[in-house]
Structure 1
Amino acid sequence: MTRSQTAAPAFELVEAALTLGSRAGRVEILRGVTLEVARGETVGVVGPSGSGKSSLLMLMGGLEQATGGAVRALGEDLTAMDEDALARFRRDHMGVVFQSFHLIPTMTALENVATPLELAGRADAFDRAAEELKAVGLGARLDHYPGQLSGGEQQRVALARAAAPRPEILLADEPTGNLDGVNGEAIMDMLFGLRERHGATLIMVTHAPELAARCDRTIRVADGLLAEDSAREAAE
């Protein structure tokens, strides 16, 4: 890691904008968001459907390119990177968990978690993958394929895959959206547990206020703008 990355916040967004084309013309998804997130901070992103909160997460992960303003992660300018550079940056510094699990159906749980590590050149890919799967309670399911796992178990595999590289940043987009209440609560406990174990910065998009309340800060997005930014009250 470079000196600038060590000193920099996890994220710095300055008037970040996202405009996309459609049959009806250009649509402003994000209309100038300025935001700073400290390293190690946990941030819940809330707002109504269509407000731009998932798009904001995509900008922060370099999965969408800002059409205006600046997006920096760990001191690096994501808006100046091409797709290959962004992919390498995510591989080396970020873990991403989606509402849909995005597992490879022809690979076992162990292979799904180990493959990104192998691509990154990790010699201990399978040992580390097994360790992370055990940490999310799937030590007995290493050789099972996604089709043999429940939705909650598949999301646990996705969590293990995101955490295995020991990323400095964890991004989660509605990680409990496809799960029932019991499984959703278990997944959130695991997500925060992984974050605490590895000391990562966590940014989580959610519709559930009780989940956002577990974060250090909650930011509300409305109509493509940052409408509210509030820190969690200290426990008495």
Structure 2
Amino acid sequence: MPDPAVTLEDVTLSLRGNAGMVEILHGISLTVARGETIGLIGPSGSGKSSLLMVMGGLEHATSGRVGVLGQDLTDMDEDALARFRRDHMGVVFQSFNLIPTMTALENVATPLELAGHKDAFDLAQAELDSVGLGHRSDHYPAQMSGGEQQRVALARASAPRPDILLADEPTGNLDGKNGDAIMDMLFGLRDRHGATLVLVTHSNSLAQRCDRVVRLTDGRVDAAKARDAE
């Protein structure tokens, strides 16, 4: 059996707020198999996005163990975590997080350049073509619609062929039509590249497209169930 993509063992997360320390995650234990698609659902404030950030090493767990692709993220410093994400992860945010002073092509090429790909711009152009934006490669984020910006963000996340894709409400800022198109592209990228996908969503219909649904309530896993194969 290969190592799982993600293993969380009794993970807690506490962050300092205006009123002092706030406990966000409480003893989360969860395993995600390689190639599996997980839908994280639950009400606002339940800890879904925080759990995703812990999986990606974007937040340090307060206690417990976070294992990703056989590596212990809890022992890594910020530089090591950044290199690990660069080499193994793609992250898609609700707010796109594109660099406004860079064109679509430059936004997609940047992580490829950082990873040492000499043909970064050729790969970036091919990825933009795959999400239907090859003709917009020289446009800046401000010149594109929200749906187009999210497609650029998807291309940027998938271009390095990550082992794991983490998506935090990727359709949250989009209308229904654009949201559906983005999700079709995201699942298409997963299918083509065989990546493990962890998706945070408020939409039960989107979650049901995943292999398994994990519900969070008040920072705890409320229920985890596998969707029956059709």
Unaligned runs of 5+ in 2: none
Choose from 185, 193, 209 the match for 2:188.
Answer: 193
Aligned mate of 2:137, from 135, 142, 150: 142
Q: 2: CA distance between counterparts of 1:22 and 1:123?
A: 44
Please point out which of 59, 71, 82 is paired with 2:66: 71
Cα-Cα RMSD: 0.9
What is the deviation of 1:97?
0.0
Q: Secondary structure at the match of 1:7?
A: coil
Matches within 5 A, 1:127-166: 127-166=122-161
Q: TM-score, normalised by structure 1?
A: 0.96
Q: Distance in 2 between matches of 1:180 and 1:78?
A: 36
Displacement, 1:120?
1.2
Instruction: Identify unmatched segments of 5+ residues in structure 1.
Output: 1-5
Identical amino acids, percent of aligned pairs: 72
Paired residue type of 1:183: N
Residue 11 of structure 1 is matched in structure 2 by 6
Give the TM-score, by structure 2 length: 0.99
Q: Which residue of 2 aligns with 1:3?
A: none
CA apart distance, 1:7: 2.9
Size of the aligned set, in residue pairs, is 230
Q: Deviations over 1:34-84 (max 9, x none)?
A: 000000000000000000010000000000000010000001000000000
Partner SS state of residue 51, structure 1: coil
**Letter of the structure 2 residue corresponding to residue 58 of structure 1:** M
Distance in 1 (CA, whole Å) between partners of 2:190 and 2:209 is: 12
Deviations for 1:97-141, whole angstroms, at most 9, x for unmatched residues? Answer: 000011111111000000111111101100110111000000111
Matches within 5 A, 1:107-118: 107-118=102-113
The ranges of structure 1 where at least 4 consecutive aligned residues each deviate by more than 3 angstroms after the TM superposition are none
Aligned to 1:202: 197
Aligned AA (1:43) = I
Deviation digits for residues 173-213 of structure 1, max 9, x if unmatched?
A: 00000000000000000000011111000000000110000
